[in-house]
Amino acid sequence: MARTVWDSTVGKKAVMAVSGAIMLLYLVAHVIGNLKIFFGAGEFNHYAHWLRTVGEPFMHYEWTLWLVRVVLVVAVVAHAVSAYQLSRRDIKARPSKYVHKKPRASYATRTMRWGGIILGLFIVWHILDLTTGTVHSGGFQEGRPYENVVDTFSTWYGNVIYIVAMLALGLHIRHGFWSAAQTLGAGSRTRDRALKAVANVLALLLTAGFIAVPVGVMTGVVS
């Protein structure tokens, strides 16, 4: 069965839909966590520490966190590999372009591939910046995410990279959420408007919620 799914364009698209849904669920939790930054360093850093103790005493320190990380890495890899293989196939299926060109589909739909690449690169930078601190500016402080976030958004490039990526994320979710529903066979004529509305609301709330943090630092609300 796994073979049938992976070898079919319809099945591979379902892999993309499910992995995308997992990442989307994570992002909802992520944005709620991020917004605690507006309640001060104490609450934010406490929340960050709590993430490591979730599930205790059943789970050991950081076990839950690592479990989530493993699931996310699997989801990102499955999503990216399917997208790459399907895109290769799509490009091969239409080798010669039309001479008479027309603007096609919505902006969100046309930017799925580039948007996905931007998001992939962003994730790498984001982890190196705020999880490992490898490319962090201004001295990374282990266990003090509030101070680290303020550092990152005190640089112009930190803000630019983050805001561009979050706009790409909004567009990606706008087409991706609705698209995933169709791929998994959950769409219908009567449900179409509701699905599109949910996609738009999710895209808007997530983008606005994430961008609120750099804007907060830039305007001095968070310092």
Partner 1 sequence: MKLTLRVWRQKNADADGAMSTYEVDNVSPDMSFLEMLDTLNEELILKGEDPVAFDHDCREGICGACSLVINGDAHGPERTTTCQLHMRSFKDGDTIDIEPWRASAFPVIKDLVVDRSAFDRIIQAGGYITAPTGSAPEAHATPVPKPDADYAFEHAECIGCGACVAACPNGAAMLFTSAKVNHLNVLPQGAPERETRVLDMVAQMDEEGFGGCTLTGECATACPKGIPLTSITNMNREWLRATRKAGKR
Kindly state whether residue 194 participates in binding partner 1, applying the rule CB under 8 A.
no
CA angle in degrees (0–180, nearest 5) for 8-12-14: 120
* SS3 annotation, the chain: CHHHHHHCHHHHHHHHHHHHHHHHHHHHHHHHHHHHHHHCHHHHHHHHHHHHHCCCCCCCCCHHHHHHHHHHHHHHHHHHHHHHHHHHHHHHHCCCCCCCCCCCCCHHHHCHHHHHHHHHHHHHHHHHHHCCCCCCCCCCCCCCHHHHHHHHCCCHHHHHHHHHHHHHHHHHHHHHHHHHHHHCCCCCCCCHHHHHHHHHHHHHHHHHHHHHHHHHHHCCCCC
Nearer to partner 1, 143 or 185 (CB): 185
Closer Cβ to partner 1, 95 or 220, answer by number: 95
**Number of amino acids touching partner 1 (CB under 8 A):** 44
Q: Does 197 bind partner 1 (CB under 8 A)?
A: no
- Contact between 188 and partner 1 (CB under 8 A)? yes
Interaction residues for partner 1, span 61-100 (CB under 8 A):
86, 89-100
CB 185 to partner 1: min, Å: 2
Find the shortest distance in angstroms from Cβ 198 to partner 1: 16
Site pattern 5..44 for partner 1 (x: CB under 8 A):
x-xxxxxxxx------------------------------
Q: Show contacts with partner 1 in window 144-163 (CB under 8 A).
A: none
Q: What is the C-alpha separation between 163 and 110, in angstroms, rounded?
A: 20
Residue 187 Cβ vs partner 1, minimum distance, rounded to whole Å = 4
Binding mask 101-120 for partner 1 (x = CB under 8 A): xx-xx---xx-x--------
In the complex, what is the shortest distance from the CB of residue 169 to partner 1, in angstroms, rounded to a whole number?
18
Q: How far apart are CA 114 and CA 167, in angstroms?
A: 12
Smallest separation (angstroms) from partner 1 to the CB of 104: 6
Contact positions toward partner 1, by CB under 8 A? 1, 4-5, 7-14, 86, 89-102, 104-105, 109-110, 112, 175, 178-179, 181-189, 192
